[in-house]
Structure 1
């Protein structure tokens, strides 16, 4: 999992950028990773599809932030996720 605008390569050409406005404890990072994985699995979209569709990225961010509020009592909007192509 990534912290504070760092990038972690999912493949050689795609990165997930996670901006955190909260403390990046291992529990927070684990919850973000689980929530991201669950969203991708349940949505049926590939990561590449998500890059090209802002509404999917918005839905991902809502899903992750709702999980953080529900599971860790963090403030909604504590995490912003972007998925980008590496150049």
Structure 2
């Protein structure tokens, strides 16, 4: 899938490369059998511009389009994520 056809790119978020994380990590996560991917340091980070809910939906859709079927979480500073 090319970046022009992904949910993240529809918002123009792939231009700088920072938001391409979901697309970049999805094939590796799928191949590794990862049950969860946590994305952090996403840009733009201003919730007024792109909310966590929008980030999560776009990241999940992009990861699914790239073949990943596990859980996708938008991380935050000091967030605790159980490893079990």
The TM-score bracket by the shorter chain reads 0.3 to 0.5
More strand by share: 1
When normalised by structure 1's length, the TM-score is 0.37
More helix by share: 1
